[in-house]
Chain A
C-alpha cells in the first residue's frame, strides 16, 4: 500500500504570496495532521482534521488554514508568506487503534520563501 503522499516536494515562493500544499493519507485513514518543521527544530503541530472537521489547531496565525476533502485528502494554505514560513511541512495520517493513535508521516514539502 502507498504511504502518505505530499505535493509538491519543493516550492519556492516570494514574500507576500500564497501557497497551497497537498496531502493524501494512507488508504483507510480518516485523520490528517499538519506540522511545520523549521530547520534545526522539532515539528510543530498546526492542524488536525478528522472526518472533514477541524479537531485541533496549534499556535499559528490566521494566515494558516486547512481543509479536508470527502476522500480524506487535505490541503494546507498559507497566505501572505513571510520569510519565517520557510520550513519543511509534514503531513501525517492515522487510524484509530485501541487507546492510541499512531501517525504515519509523509515525505514533506520543503517551502522556501525569498
Chain B
C-alpha cells in the first residue's frame, strides 16, 4: 500500500523562527508536489519537484527532493503569520494526474 507521511502533523511556531516539514513516501516517484490549503479553501500549488536533488525556493519557503531516500522537505525561513495554513505533499508514481497526498501539516505562526 502506498503511504505518504508528513511530520509533524501540527506545528506551532513563533514569527521569525525557522522550521522544516518532512514528507516520506513508500513508493518510487520522481515527481513530488507541495500544496498549501487555507481553511475552507482549495489547494494552491507551491512547488513541483521533478528529479532527485531538485531544490526550489519561493519567498520564505524552500522545497527539496531526495528520491533515493524517498524524502522531501519544506523549509520555512523567518516565519510570518501569513504562512499559517495546512501544507500537503503529494507524489505521482503512476501514469500521471493520480496524486497521493500526505497527511498534511497544520502550521500556525504566532506573533
Contacts and interface: CB of A to CB of B under 8 A. Distances in A.
A31 B41 CA distance: 22
Interface stretch (B13-21, B60-68, B73-81, B101-109): B101-109
A48 B97 CA distance: 7
Interface of A: 31, 33, 35, 41-45, 48, 50, 55-56, 58, 90, 92, 94, 96, 99-108
Contacts of A99: 50
Looking at chain A's contact residues, the main secondary structure is strand
Contacts, number: 70
Contacts of A100: 31, 48, 50, 92, 96
Given A41-B104, A48-B98, A99-B50, A107 B88 contact: no
Given A100-B48, A105-B42, A43 B97 contact: no
Interface in B6-41: 31, 33, 35, 41
